[in-house]
Structure 1
């Protein structure tokens, strides 16, 4: 997330630079200040102790997500119309002109990891469900509808943005339409989209980290119930400050910020994270829990279908991880720490 914040922050500055100085100007800038600023903001928000206390942040993040996705989709459609038709081909980037057959295979596999990352949200479903009031309607009913709507919406928007971006630029399409500068004008609209990305990721960081924060603090409280370092709190509105929470959450954000500054190859890292987390967290454990909860008989048709689904997703995860690792290795060959 932090590398993406860096790219969006720099994109805002570069969009203005390109508008003033022309598209051929390199308009270079350092990424580190943007990451440090984002980390400082997250340190503040991380002091809100419970997931249900930041419901408004999740709503804002969702609105921002629709904002930048809609802008990217609209720009892609407009560019395609201006081109007079679709660019690219059904087989993707052509081999040659700087792309070998091996590189195409690795990048195709990495793409599976990027797609998988978009669906690796199951680790927060339990936390969301915990904030839903008791029936009616039941938590299971609410979550089933929410999951179906969210998966369908995510799929439609991602497919439209990806397909229209490739249709607009073909093999020259940047990895991110809003930060890779396939589009230069209107620069103010690009600024709005990239600002929306930053705001969205402020919320997304908390959505993914709050369950981890809560888990660690519950374990610490159970291990040392009489410790004032852990138990003593000071309430300030939505914030609940304790020495332990302030220390460990701040340290966590600082570590992730430094890691993002050290590893700026966003696409490769996202693909790897998506590949590693997709199968166990989004497929395997939910399937096994469903089998136990519903009493699915081993060897039955339903059980076999579920296991085949799990095995297929495992293959996707392994292939995506291989592609992402290959790209990370290539990036490390020319990598310099804190050089962003």
Structure 2
């Protein structure tokens, strides 16, 4: 055996240290973050992801939320909700236990709930097209939910968040298209004699009106809610500074254009007759109030974008599944990682599809998700994080303003959750499992 020169010895020791460091990193690395959250995206890609996660089909339920609030309160809460956003800083501010056991489960549950809602809404839009083209057809809603779920089963296999960037660009265009269709259709019907008589009074007795307000707040919170911003930020290529703000600027430009036009035009046209999905108002007793091709087109745009939204909100689930079943030491597309990935993701979509088919109450599911998930993440945690991070004086107005906001919205969230469950119980009297609504 030959002897090593001093320089060779140093290089050998350096190489050994690097190998040890790599092995340590491989041991500590999270397979979910490694395979699902690839830090390769630009701020433009970030804008696509953010737009798909926020500007989604639930915005079509905003006119329905106004039926519980009326014009003044509706516009007020719509504007307030746009100003308050959640940032997942729990791990850095509250510590890993709070991030893992409090914020993490809420985020995971609400994101998976959105996947369920997307599959349900996709099935409803497909059924709307079917009923228009074949009024006497025998296919049921749960069959369309299953069909849409099968399509989502394919999209779920897209390996990483970054891989969705081109799909989310198409999604951005689609949300603009169906929002324009919703607004144009509402204005057309509102100006014609085909639409209902405009009535903006709040329905029901005092009890129903009070619960309706909290139900509406949940819907608005869900529509604006975005529980996966941390994962989107993780997809950005370094340096990250400034890119998130640019992406949010793209997103909020589209938010303002779509949310307010659809809400105001829809509620103006249909008043307190606005349904849980405003596109449903385009058909009255099986007869379209607009040309059939226009109704078809609106629903097709919605269906296509829903698949992208579902794929985006599935990413936190994918990350958790990869963390559990993936092996960071093996290549991403090795047999060791591909087989568990396909099985686990397919199972996640299958469960979501079964839930959507069993409980076809889109408006109610929307408000329940908002009450339990988006309301605390959007309105309560940000002000708590501010006080804990910047530590304003307890004598300062900002400290007590934040405390007041946290207390008020915690109370609102609890009442909204009760209102959402109450509404589901009321609707359950008219529906059954796998109902054909």
When normalised by structure 2's length, the TM-score is 0.64
In the alignment, the residues of structure 1 paired with residue 145 and residue 354 of structure 2 have an alpha-carbon distance, to the nearest angstrom, of 9
Q: Equivalent residue for 1:21?
A: none
How far residue 297 of structure 1 moved from its aligned partner, in angstroms, is 4.6
User: Which of 28, 33, 41 lines up with 2:143 in the alignment?
Assistant: 33
Q: Equivalent residue for 1:4?
A: 121
How far residue 61 of structure 1 moved from its aligned partner, in angstroms, is 1.6
Counterpart secondary structure, 1:179: helix
| Structure-to-structure mapping, 1:171-210, within 5 angstroms | 171-180=272-281, 181=283, 183-210=288-315
Contact 1:232/1:242 (8 A) holds in 2: no
In the alignment, the residues of structure 2 paired with residue 216 and residue 300 of structure 1 have an alpha-carbon distance, to the nearest angstrom, of 45
Q: Equivalent residue for 2:26?
A: none
- 5+ long unaligned stretches in structure 1: 19-25
Most deviating of 5-14 and 316-325: 316-325
Aligned residues: 315
In the alignment, the residues of structure 2 paired with residue 84 and residue 335 of structure 1 have an alpha-carbon distance, to the nearest angstrom, of 29
Contact 2:120/2:362 (8 A) holds in 1: yes
In the alignment, the residues of structure 1 paired with residue 338 and residue 139 of structure 2 have an alpha-carbon distance, to the nearest angstrom, of 38
How far residue 56 of structure 1 moved from its aligned partner, in angstroms, is 1.2
User: Which of 15, 18, 22 lines up with 2:132 in the alignment?
Assistant: 15
Evaluate the alpha carbon distance shift between residue 296 and residue 117 of structure 1 in structure 2; reply closer, same or farther with a 3 A threshold: same
Evaluate the alpha carbon distance shift between residue 115 and residue 155 of structure 1 in structure 2; reply closer, same or farther with a 3 A threshold: farther
Evaluate the alpha carbon distance shift between residue 36 and residue 178 of structure 1 in structure 2; reply closer, same or farther with a 3 A threshold: same
Are 1:76 and 2:173 counterparts?
Answer: no
Offset from partner CA, 1:47-103 (integer Å, 9 cap, x none): 22221111112122221111111101011112222259995345434x4xxxx5443
| Structure-to-structure mapping, 1:96-175, within 5 angstroms | 100-121=205-226, 123-135=227-239, 138-139=240-241, 141-147=242-248, 150-151=251-252, 153-175=254-276
In the alignment, the residues of structure 2 paired with residue 52 and residue 225 of structure 1 have an alpha-carbon distance, to the nearest angstrom, of 18
Evaluate the alpha carbon distance shift between residue 83 and residue 161 of structure 1 in structure 2; reply closer, same or farther with a 3 A threshold: farther
| Structure-to-structure mapping, 1:216-255, within 5 angstroms | 216-221=321-326, 231=330, 233-234=332-333, 242-255=338-351
How far residue 150 of structure 1 moved from its aligned partner, in angstroms, is 3.2
Contact 1:119/1:151 (8 A) holds in 2: no
Contact 1:86/1:167 (8 A) holds in 2: no
Evaluate the alpha carbon distance shift between residue 147 and residue 293 of structure 1 in structure 2; reply closer, same or farther with a 3 A threshold: farther
Evaluate the alpha carbon distance shift between residue 83 and residue 287 of structure 1 in structure 2; reply closer, same or farther with a 3 A threshold: same
Q: Equivalent residue for 1:335?
A: 431
Evaluate the alpha carbon distance shift between residue 307 and residue 279 of structure 1 in structure 2; reply closer, same or farther with a 3 A threshold: farther
In the alignment, the residues of structure 1 paired with residue 134 and residue 263 of structure 2 have an alpha-carbon distance, to the nearest angstrom, of 26
How far residue 268 of structure 1 moved from its aligned partner, in angstroms, is 0.6
Q: Equivalent residue for 1:257?
A: 353
In the alignment, the residues of structure 2 paired with residue 6 and residue 65 of structure 1 have an alpha-carbon distance, to the nearest angstrom, of 18
In the alignment, the residues of structure 2 paired with residue 108 and residue 27 of structure 1 have an alpha-carbon distance, to the nearest angstrom, of 38
Contact 2:325/2:341 (8 A) holds in 1: no
In the alignment, the residues of structure 2 paired with residue 142 and residue 290 of structure 1 have an alpha-carbon distance, to the nearest angstrom, of 22
Evaluate the alpha carbon distance shift between residue 156 and residue 92 of structure 1 in structure 2; reply closer, same or farther with a 3 A threshold: farther
In the alignment, the residues of structure 2 paired with residue 335 and residue 119 of structure 1 have an alpha-carbon distance, to the nearest angstrom, of 28
Q: Equivalent residue for 1:66?
A: 176
- 5+ long unaligned stretches in structure 2: 1-117
Contact 1:39/1:257 (8 A) holds in 2: yes
Structure (1 or 2) with the larger CA radius of gyration = 2
